[in-house]
Amino acid sequence: MHRNRPGQTVFSQVLACIPRWEFLRAYRVCAVRPPRSGAFSPRDHFLTLSFAQMTFRESLRDIEACLNAQSGLAYQLGLRSVITRSGLARANEQRDWHPWEYLALTLMPKVRSLYADEPNALDLDVPIIAVDSSLIDLSFALCPWANWNGTDAAIKLHAALDLRGPIPAFINVTLATYGDVCWLDELPLEPGAFYLMDRGYIDFRRLRRIADAGAFFVIRDRPDIRCYVVASRRVDRSTNLRADQSIRLNGSYAPKHWPGLLRRVSVYDVDHARRLAFWTNQWTLSAGTIAALYRNRWQIELFFRWLKHELRIRTFYGTTANAVRLQLWASICTYLAMAITRKQLGITTNLTTFVQVLSLHAISKTPIAELFTKSHAKKPDLRCASH
């Protein structure tokens, strides 16, 4: 249960979800030795970047000015080191990012367990996970190491999003040149779960791995892959459904990795005047449910848009690959800590509004629950009494 000590800032209340022992354990597991005693500690480094994420700071100068503007503010936020722009810049360039990645990956199952009672897509009592990736643009002049097409620089954020919450089930950060479909090899699979993917993830060897794990996929078809219809089932054409078929793959490569049947569900997209088809290895749900499942995949695109807008991953505090990764993992950890806080306090305000309110009151010492308690006190009558 989330506990609040009297006099604790809102920022400290949120970051209490990541206790010091858990932070130090990440360094031990990753076999990374913290700097010598008396230096800018990894914990203070992490708290500084988390503060920057929560309060929307734009630069190292901005971070330094805010934390040093008020005497004792940094101490009240849990920081024990002197925060300087040069110290932050060196830490961002030299500190290993792997412990922060490990910390984020250990927080994700904790957050998902808290949100397990959230309504799921179509009220199915199984995890429904949308899989996608998004490019995060960088300056080509400042970050030549991230060059991926000769004229642009970017890194790629891969995510598997549990649609309950929504909460990330797994995240990875790679160079932009890393193929989306290759990331499926790293994705942890859960028996019984549904994985919703666009056609860029079609690779039958990797789809077979999902099926062999006892999980299901719903993926948009690719018209260039040859197949033929083995059987058809009746659908209600008064809806947007057009076909529910059993298909077998043709060619030399695809049947080798998927020799059995696949189910193809076709719908008509009225808004864009086009016909869409989805492949799945799930045979018991209705065709309408399969189509509705894929429609929920768009939540991950909303998640990427929200993540880029609400957290500071459009402006970076450093230009090295190490600095960029540290900031990204600090952003993700901060997001997860806020999601934990919201759930443990039983706050029903949507996550976007919750983040905005916390950013405004980060240095306030008000208990977070009180920030979301509507006052029903009678307003004073300010009208002048007539005599």
With a threshold of 0.75, does the pTM exceed it? yes
230: β partners: none
Look up residue 114 and give its two tokens.
């808290």
Look up residue 152 and give its two tokens.
């642009």
DSSP 214: T
Mean pLDDT of 78-85: 89
266: three-class secondary structure by DSSP = strand
Burial of 263 (0-12, 13-18, 19+ CB in 10 A): buried
How do residues 162-208 score in pLDDT, each as one tens digit? Answer: 998 788 999 999 999 999 999 999 999 999 999 999 999 999 999 99
CATH 3.90.350.10 fits 126-303, yes or no: yes
The residue to which tokens 């077979």 are assigned: 208
Q: How many whole angstroms separate alpha carbon 374 and alpha carbon 360? A: 17
The mean of the pLDDT values for the chain is 89
Mean pLDDT of 247-256: 88
- Cβ pair 326, 95 in contact under 8 A: yes
Q: How many whole angstroms separate alpha carbon 207 and alpha carbon 221? A: 13
Domain positions in the chain:
10-99+316-371, 126-303
Rg of the chain, C-alpha, whole Å:
24
pLDDT of residue 121: 67
Q: How many whole angstroms separate alpha carbon 307 and alpha carbon 193? A: 24
**Cβ neighbours for 345, distance < 8 A, ≥ 6 positions apart:** 2, 368, 369
Q: How many whole angstroms separate alpha carbon 329 and alpha carbon 139? A: 19
Task: Assess whether pLDDT exceeds 80 at residue 235.
Answer: yes
